[in-house]
């Protein structure tokens, strides 16, 4: 595609331009480079809305497509345009595919076997344990885990996949150079090494509320199916499930306590026909995927940095502990225990399960 790539990217930056319009421009002008240089009257004759034409006019005045593409790539960010061979093939199937994607990390053919795991930011210990189990087991069968890097279920899904030695993809609602939430910077770096981070939003895009529901169609679009672990009735995870249904993807829901607010959304999905699941095998069977028990390399666990950390790891080897119980066992104050556990979380030694309950990674 050569010269055209810069113009695919440039038109992608014109809010409101769809793939249908791009094909129309290419048919009429013969090439996107010619369409980029066309005058307003020519474009208006094709029926482009005035609002889109105005955005195009403003962008064209300040953007050189080739220079912009070079600037982005100089930041170590790869651009995947719709016609590129490396563009995710499953995304081409959805009703509104992004004209271009920005990527850090790498996509591989193995990522064609991908499943999304999404859910609430206010995950319960039950939800986190279920997510950890599902993501880890799916990775053991060669499934890539897709999610959105949010707090709660998303974070646990990514971490469990990476901890199992598998692959994971995060779809950002910001630019790929803007990690949100900022506390997940280290997780994003791990994803770049063991998967990829993707966004349709240009580098430098800050967190804007309306961008996150939009990106959810990409999470589902990359995936064979979407698993909703926990979700209240008003939840981004339910938006992802709706996109999945519209895209012809499978929708799965994890049954939870009917008294739990974060299980009300999954209960609604089950009533609407989502498939209930209780294990990774349920997913593999429903998607008719070949069972592959892979021997994945497990990253070595960091050594404890102090005798107190060694004691904590020894206690957690027997199962999750509440912070109060850990403090009592070690004879430490809660504030000191908080600092220790935070440092161990940052090194990937322990995981917070919610409600001040901690487990060994």
- 133 and 28 both lie in a single domain: no
pLDDT score of 89: 95
- 157 and 207 both lie in a single domain: yes
pLDDT score of 346: 62
Maximal C-alpha separation, the chain = 78
- 320 and 276 both lie in a single domain: no
Token representation of residue 149: 């890097």
Assign residue 182 the CATH number of its domain.
3.40.50.450
Q: Which of 28, 49, 74 is the last residue of a domain?
A: 74
Bridge partners of 226? 116, 251
Q: Domain range spanning residue 137?
A: 109-286
Token representation of residue 292: 């592959």
- 241 and 324 both lie in a single domain: no
Alpha carbons 239 and 222: distance in angstroms, whole number: 15
Length of the chain: 361
> Looking at the chain, which runs of residues are DSSP E strands?
78-81, 100-105, 114-118, 144-147, 168-171, 195-199, 225-228, 250-253, 275-276, 321-322, 350-354, 357-360
- 281 and 136 both lie in a single domain: yes
Report the 10 Å Cβ neighbour count for 37: 12
- 49 and 196 both lie in a single domain: no
**Is 326 inside a domain boundary?**
yes
pLDDT score of 342: 77
**Is 96 inside a domain boundary?**
no
- The pTM of the full predicted model, rounded to 2 decimals, is 0.82
- 163 and 18 both lie in a single domain: no
pLDDT score of 337: 87
- 124 and 256 both lie in a single domain: yes
Grouping H, G, I as helix, E, B as strand and the rest as coil, residue 130 is helix
Q: Which of 29, 47, 74 is the last residue of a domain?
A: 74
**Is 213 inside a domain boundary?**
yes
**Is 56 inside a domain boundary?**
yes
C-beta separation of 253 from 222 below 8 A: no
- 280 and 354 both lie in a single domain: no
Model pLDDT for residues 98-134, shown as the tens digit of each residue: 999 999 999 999 999 999 999 999 999 889 989 999 9
Task: Write out the chain's pLDDT in tens, 361 residues.
Answer: 557 999 999 999 999 999 999 999 999 999 999 999 998 888 888 888 889 999 999 999 999 999 999 999 999 999 999 999 999 999 999 999 999 999 999 999 999 999 999 999 999 988 998 999 999 999 999 999 999 999 999 999 999 999 999 999 999 999 999 999 999 999 999 999 999 999 999 999 999 999 999 999 999 999 999 999 999 999 999 999 999 999 999 999 999 999 999 999 999 999 999 999 989 999 999 999 876 655 555 555 556 678 888 899 989 888 888 999 999 999 998 888 888 887 787 667 887 876 788 888 7
How many structural domains is the chain composed of?
Answer: 3
**Is 84 inside a domain boundary?**
no
CA angle (217, 146, 82) in 5-degree steps: 50
**Pairing mode, if any, of strands 114-118 and 225-228?**
parallel
pLDDT score of 300: 53
pLDDT score of 301: 56
pLDDT score of 317: 86
- 233 and 326 both lie in a single domain: no
- 256 and 189 both lie in a single domain: yes
**Is 104 inside a domain boundary?**
no
**Is 144 inside a domain boundary?**
yes
Model pLDDT for residues 184-224, shown as the tens digit of each residue: 999 999 999 999 999 999 999 999 999 999 999 999 999 99
**Is 88 inside a domain boundary?**
no
Assign residue 340 the CATH number of its domain.
1.10.10.10
- 311 and 167 both lie in a single domain: no
């Amino acid at each position: 595609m050569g010269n055209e790539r810069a113009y695919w990217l440039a038109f992608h930056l014109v809010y409101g331009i769809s793939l249908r319009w791009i094909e129309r421009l290419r048919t009429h002008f013969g090439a996107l480079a010619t369409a980029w240089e066309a005058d307003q009257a020519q474009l208006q004759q094709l029926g482009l809305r005035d609002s889109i034409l105005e955005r195009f006019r403003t962008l064209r005045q300040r953007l050189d497509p080739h220079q912009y593409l070079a600037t982005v790539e100089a930041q170590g960010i790869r651009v995947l345009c719709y016609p590129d061979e490396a563009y995710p093939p499953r995304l081409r199937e959805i009703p509104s595919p992004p004209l271009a994607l920005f990527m850090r990390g790498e996509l591989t053919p193995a990522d064609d076997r991908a499943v999304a795991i999404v859910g609430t930011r206010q995950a319960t210990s039950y939800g986190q344990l279920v997510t950890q189990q599902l993501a880890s087991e799916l990775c053991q069968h060669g499934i890539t885990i897709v999610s959105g890097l949010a707090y709660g279920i998303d974070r646990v899904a990514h971490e469990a996949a990476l901890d199992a030695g598998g692959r994971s993809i995060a779809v950002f609602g910001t630019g790929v150079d803007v990690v949100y939430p900022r506390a997940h910077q280290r997780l994003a770096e791990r994803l770049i090494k063991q998967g990829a981070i993707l966004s349709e939003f240009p580098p430098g895009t800050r967190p804007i509320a309306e961008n996150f529901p939009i990106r959810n169609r990409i999470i589902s679009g990359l995936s064979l199916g979407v698993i909703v672990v926990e979700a209240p009735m008003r939840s981004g995870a339910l938006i992802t499930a709706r996109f999945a249904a519209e895209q012809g993807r499978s929708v799965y829901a994890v049954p939870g306590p009917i008294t739990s607010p974060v299980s009300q959304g999954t209960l609604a999905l089950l009533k609407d026909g989502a498939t209930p699941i209780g294990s990774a095998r349920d997913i593999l069977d429903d998607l008719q995927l070949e069972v592959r028990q892979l021997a994945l390399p497990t990253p070595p666990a960091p050594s404890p940095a102090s005798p107190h950390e060694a004691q904590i790891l020894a206690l957690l080897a027997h199962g999750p502990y509440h912070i109060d119980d850990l403090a009592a066992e070690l004879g430490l104050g809660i504030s000191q225990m908080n600092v220790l556990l935070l440092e161990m979380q940052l090194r990937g030694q322990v995981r917070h399960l919610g409600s001040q309950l901690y487990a060994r990674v």
